[in-house]
């Protein structure tokens, strides 16, 4: 979905809109009546005029990220306009100015420092032919035998070429990306299932960023799903001088799922939805209108899509094929621990370094679990901090012991004559309000000679809008979706939610030639199609509470797992356990606990007994009886027995 500056003309399709007027004018028409006096532009074009002016000013000031964001906002604005409005002479004039900004940004992008993250490439990739093509087809058929897909896969020459690319030339990148993917795939699949889109689309993050939360493109697209600022704000991702939610894996995944679902609703075809994700919905409409076909492969053979977009769909198809069976393609992946965590409510701004020292939590773990934090601390006010499993209680206790003066280890600065909150804040790239909040005193006490604490610089540029109004709604936040729900640790660990997934015909097209154009916009059944069954549901993870005398070795022996496997799931624990320690068992742990032990579910905020019962395949009445709950309500942190006591 990343928008590079070189792609901006294709992104907006301004050329098509500009040409629409003259093409219509060539048709015979009756004499035009006397022109009425110019009418004021409606609200939509007025907003377009503001965006064009802002983009031109940002380009003049060499603030290319802001200029790109304004162009993207204009694209989103144009997407909902009728053709009559787009052909208005005043709108055409604005589009001409906008096109000039695009061309200028395109020239800047060509002189960029290096390639964008992920696998999106601009160059043409020569497809396999002849014997190589047949050989690659046989390899893919053998590797994918018995695999179920919920996304249409066309096995044509383009897709097979990218499969070979991923397993040869680009193998190092693919191995690293799929290694990182193992950490996030269970969470992504659950979110996609809840949002009703194909779970195989999870591999789109390989193409976008290689599953890197810190990825950033020329066009200031950020995060695993490469949202630019304006689109991220539309789908609920906020930003401030302290937090950038585009870098949060759970929140950005939810936003990406909703954006993909919306693009599918607009186009009626998943391949066209991907064109919109990469190049924008206007580019999709322009290509379809000029080619006269809604078949992606017809569009890919035309000049109406740039090379990056032509590569995008076959790249994703190849990533799905390779990603679902990496070992069958000879890939060697380095597995990473799952994305699991506990939530601790931090009431006041606190440095992650202070928490790491006082609670014994590795500071790198805190940064990895909370990549949206920009300054090595929680923002002012209450913040739900993710901590590694088992560190929730120690972190909460450490927070309770900290005094306000001990919470921050920021840079010290002595105020000088003439310093004001605004001047110092501008010097250190924070807002005056946040600077005062970090020091817990009003502006009236901001005087020379006083030592204050200054938060560290952000590792990534912060938008000027976010610095002016940290934490406030962004300009495009006037139509957000419902708030993003918090993501529980058990869900992130790999339990797929029992959500209703939209039935889509998976495609296994064994023909080499590209499929013919389909007459309908809906996903097309293809000859040789394999029906997909429901996605396999992974077993629910179990937690056990350590008893006196327990060790990791004893638990591994009791439950029938290797000690190395248990240690890999519980890096926070040493060999000797303390009574009350929570130990996570592998996914294939038996439902019935051996030696009288019972799997335990720890209640989290907002969970109900019915939801917990559904999650573990149990009856709510059984859970209530096994735990002696009666009419009592659940409490966060309460432990529930998941099998009858013995």
Task: Give which of 313, 314, 307, 332 is closest to 174, Cα–Cα.
Answer: 332
- The CA–CA distances, whole Å, from 312 to 134, 159, 207 equal 23, 10, 8
Count of residues making up the chain: 646
Task: Give which of 335, 340, 326 is closest to 564, Cα–Cα.
Answer: 335
Q: How many CB atoms sit inside 10 A of residue 45's CB?
A: 18
289 CB-near residues (< 8 Å, 6+ apart): 16
Helices (H), ranges, 209-360: 229-234, 249-267, 270-279, 281-291, 296-300, 307-324, 352-359
Q: What is the pLDDT of residues 233-279, one digit of tens each?
A: 888 898 888 899 999 999 999 999 999 999 999 888 999 999 999 98
Please give the model's pTM, rounded to 2 decimal places. 0.58
Where does residue 368 fall: left (phi above 0), alpha (psi -120 to 50 degrees), or beta otherwise?
Answer: alpha
Q: Which residues of the chain have pLDDT under 50?
A: 1-42, 107-116, 469-541, 595-597
| Environment class of 348 (CB within 10 Å of its CB; exposed 0-12, middle 13-18, buried 19+) | middle
Q: Give the start-end residues of each E strand in 112-158.
A: 153-154
Q: What is the pLDDT of residue 27?
A: 32
CATH number for the region 342-467 comes to: 3.10.350.10
For residues 204 and 186, give the distance between their C-alpha atoms in angstroms, rounded to a whole number. Answer: 14
Q: What is the pLDDT of residue 184?
A: 95
Is there a common fold for 342-467 and 543-641? Answer: yes
Q: What is the pLDDT of residue 15?
A: 33
Q: What is the pLDDT of residue 570?
A: 81
Top-tier CATH class for 543-641: alpha beta
Q: What is the pLDDT of residue 516?
A: 33
- Return the structure tokens found at 633: 């309500």
Q: Where are the domains of the chain?
A: 5-25+40-110, 132-213+248-330, 342-467, 543-641
Spell out the SS3 assignment of 588-627: CCCCCCHHHCCCEEECCCCCCHHHHHHHCCCCHHHHHHHC
């Amino acid at each position: 979905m990343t928008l590079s500056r070189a792609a901006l003309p294709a992104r907006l399709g301004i050329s098509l809109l500009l040409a629409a007027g003259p093409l219509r004018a060539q048709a015979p028409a009756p004499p035009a009546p006397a022109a009425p006096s110019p009418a004021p532009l409606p609200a939509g074009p007025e907003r377009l005029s503001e965006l064009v002016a802002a983009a031109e000013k940002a380009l003049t000031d060499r603030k290319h990220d802001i200029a790109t964001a304004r162009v993207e906002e204009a694209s989103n604005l144009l997407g909902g306009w009728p053709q009559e409005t787009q052909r208005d002479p005043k709108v055409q004039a604005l589009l001409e100015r906008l096109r000039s900004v695009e061309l200028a940004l395109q020239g800047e992008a060509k002189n960029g420092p290096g390639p964008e993250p992920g696998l999106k490439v601009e160059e043409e990739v020569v497809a396999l032919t002849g014997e190589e093509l047949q050989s690659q087809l046989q390899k893919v058929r053998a590797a994918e035998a018995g695999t179920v897909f919920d996304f249409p896969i066309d096995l044509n020459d383009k897709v097979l070429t990218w499969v070979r690319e991923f397993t040869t030339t680009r193998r190092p990148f693919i191995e690293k990306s799929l290694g990182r993917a193992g950490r996030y795939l269970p969470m992504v699949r659950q979110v996609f299932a809840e949002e009703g889109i194909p779970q195989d689309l999870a591999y789109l993050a390989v193409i976008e960023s290689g599953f890197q939360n810190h990825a950033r493109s020329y066009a200031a697209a950020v995060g695993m799903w490469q949202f630019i600022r304006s689109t991220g704000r539309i789908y609920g991702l906020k930003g401030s001088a302290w937090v950038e939610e585009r870098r949060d894996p759970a929140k950005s995944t939810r936003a990406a799922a909703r954006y993909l679902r919306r693009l599918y609703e607009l186009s009626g075809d998943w391949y066209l939805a991907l064109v919109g994700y990469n190049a924008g919905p206007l580019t999709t409409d322009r290509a379809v209108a000029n080619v006269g076909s809604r078949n992606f492969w017809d569009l890919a053979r035309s000049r109406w899509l740039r090379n990056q977009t032509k590569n995008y769909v076959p790249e994703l198809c190849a990533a799905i094929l390779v990603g679902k069976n990496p070992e069958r393609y000879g890939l060697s992946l380095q597995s990473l621990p799952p994305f699991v965590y506990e939530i601790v409510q931090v009431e006041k701004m606190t440095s992650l370094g202070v928490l790491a020292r006082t609670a014994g939590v590795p500071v790198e773990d805190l940064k990895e679990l909370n990549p949206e934090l920009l300054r090595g601390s929680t923002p002012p006010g209450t913040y739900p901090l993710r901590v590694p499993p088992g560190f929730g209680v120690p972190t909460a206790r450490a927070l309770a012991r900290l005094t306000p003066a001990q919470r921050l280890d920021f840079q010290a600065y002595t105020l000088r004559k003439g310093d004001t909150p605004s001047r110092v804040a501008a010097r250190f790239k924070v807002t005056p309000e946040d600077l005062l909040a970090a020091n817990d005193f009003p502006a009236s006490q901001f005087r020379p000679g006083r030592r204050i604490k200054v938060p560290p610089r952000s590792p990534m540029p912060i938008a000027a809008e976010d610095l002016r109004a940290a934490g406030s709604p962004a300009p495009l936040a006037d139509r957000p979706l419902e708030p993003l729900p918090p993501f529980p640790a058990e869900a992130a660990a790999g339990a797929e939610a029992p959500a209703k997934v939209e039935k889509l015909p998976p495609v296994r097209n064994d023909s080499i030639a590209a499929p013919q154009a389909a007459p309908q916009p809906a996903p097309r059944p293809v000859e040789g199609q394999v029906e997909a069954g429901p996605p396999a549901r992974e077993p629910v993870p179990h937690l056990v509470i350590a008893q006196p005398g327990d060790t990791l070795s004893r638990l591994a022996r009791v439950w029938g797992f290797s000690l190395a496997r248990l240690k890999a799931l519980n890096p926070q624990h040493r060999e000797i356990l303390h009574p009350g320690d929570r130990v996570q068992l592998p996914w294939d742990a038996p439902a019935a606990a051996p030696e009288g032990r019972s799997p335990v579910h720890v209640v989290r905020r907002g969970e109900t007994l019915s939801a917990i019962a559904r999650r573990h395949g149990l009856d709510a009445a059984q859970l209530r009886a096994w735990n002696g709950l009666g009419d009592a309500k659940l409490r966060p942190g309460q432990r529930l027995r998941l099998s009858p006591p013995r």
